[in-house]
């Protein structure tokens, strides 16, 4: 029974973090031990529970079903553990964010927070999945979007510049791009979640079901490569397209101001923000982000 619990505990940790190494840090074991436990659980279940990706792992359909069944019981156990040892969580802040934001901005800045708040322990999880802040043991998430999170408190952090790019040969004289809606005349190139174009168009007042249609790619480099190949319009961060723009391989068919509401936000429940450590981290995050030029962010 104890062994089976350890396998399920490892599964929940990996499902939450999306990485064996980060789950290992949470469980205070080696990544190899976590990987072995997941393999044993999949063998016991008789099916795979994760899809292996270049950035880590993500739940497949079977994994999502199992996680839905386990999430609430494990949250209840963790709540009891916190009550038994309240000092353990008082000065700990569990933060979930995307891998790109963590690697390019948050991790390099965490040293500044640690120097100001040596008593606060930050536990960082990287995941793009939807987090239920009212049920999961996560204090705060950083997400990219329009800041509309009903029932939660969101604080604007920064707005990196996204631009539309294409090859000159793709653009047609009979279909000029003068407004965001005009982009829908062309094939659109997407990331794996097919969200950027939809949110970008919505931010400009365009709501169209065709905004999610087109080829999808796992990362920005491949999206740019597809754009260079003339396969469609790409919506990318300006720094990622710097070289092909400089060489003229890609051009910007539409030059408009980026809507500042499409940004990174720090999101938490009002209950979580009552914890002094969480409030302190959130307030530091806002100040640190807004003190730095947006051009420094790549993510």
Cα-only R_g, the chain: 21
Question: Which CATH number applies to 1-84: 1.20.1440.230, 1.10.3720.10, 1.10.20.140, 1.10.10.10?
Answer: 1.10.10.10
Its pTM stands at 0.54
- Pairwise CA distance, residues 7 & 36, whole Å: 9
What token pair was written down for 223? Answer: 């999206």
**What is the domain partition of the chain in residue ranges?**
1-84, 162-247
Residue that wins the pLDDT comparison between 224 and 31: 224
Q: Homologous superfamily of 162-247 in CATH?
A: Periplasmic binding protein-like II (3.40.190.10)
- DSSP string across 257-279: PPPTTSEEEEEE-TTGGGSHHHH
pLDDT for the residue numbered 87: 54
Confidence of residue 296 (pLDDT cuts 50, 70, 90): very low
Model confidence over 211-222: pLDDT tens digits?
Answer: 999 999 987 789
Q: Is the pLDDT of residue 165 over 70?
A: yes
Give the N- to C-terminal CA distance of the chain in Å, as an integer. Answer: 43
Residue that wins the pLDDT comparison between 183 and 130: 183
- Residues contacting residue 119 through CB under 8 Å, at least 6 positions apart: 91
pLDDT for the residue numbered 122: 93
Task: Using alpha carbons only, give the angle 230, 234, 238 rounded to the nearest 5 degrees.
Answer: 120
pLDDT for the residue numbered 93: 93
Among 50, 143, 54, CA closest to 96: 143
Fold equal for 1-84 and 162-247: no
pLDDT for the residue numbered 295: 38
pLDDT for the residue numbered 148: 86
């Amino acid at each position: 029974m104890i062994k089976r619990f350890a396998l399920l505990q490892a599964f929940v940790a990996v499902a939450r973090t999306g990485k064996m190494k980060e789950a290992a840090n949470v469980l205070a074991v080696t990544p190899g031990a976590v990987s072995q436990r997941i393999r044993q659980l999949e063998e016991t279940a008789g099916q795979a529970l994760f899809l292996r990706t270049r950035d880590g792992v993500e739940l497949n359909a079977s994994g999502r079903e199992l996680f839905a069944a386990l999430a609430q019981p494990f949250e209840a156990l963790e709540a009891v553990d916190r009550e038994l040892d309240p000092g353990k969580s008082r000065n700990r802040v569990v933060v979930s964010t995307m891998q790109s934001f963590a690697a390019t901005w948050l991790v390099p800045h965490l040293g500044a927070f640690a120097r100001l708040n040596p008593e606060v322990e930050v536990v960082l999880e990287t995941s793009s999945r939807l987090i239920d802040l009212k049920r999961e043991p996560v204090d705060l998430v950083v997400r990219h979007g329009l800041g509309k999170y009903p029932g939660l408190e969101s604080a604007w952090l920064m707005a990196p510049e996204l631009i539309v790019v294409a090859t000159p040969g793709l653009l047609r004289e009979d279909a000029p791009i003068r407004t965001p809606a005009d982009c829908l005349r062309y094939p659109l190139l997407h990331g794996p979640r097919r969200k950027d174009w939809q949110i970008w168009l919505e931010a400009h007042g365009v709501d169209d079901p065709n905004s999610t249609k087109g080829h999808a790619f796992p990362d920005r480099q491949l999206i740019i490569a597809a754009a260079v190949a003339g396969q469609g319009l790409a919506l990318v961060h300006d720094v990622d397209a710097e070289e092909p723009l400089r060489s003229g391989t890609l051009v910007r068919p539409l030059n408009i101001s980026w809507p500042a509401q499409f940004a990174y936000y720090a999101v938490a429940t009002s209950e979580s923000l009552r914890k002094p450590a969480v409030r302190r981290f959130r307030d530091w995050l806002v100040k640190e982000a807004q003190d730095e030029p947006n051009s420094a962010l790549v993510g």
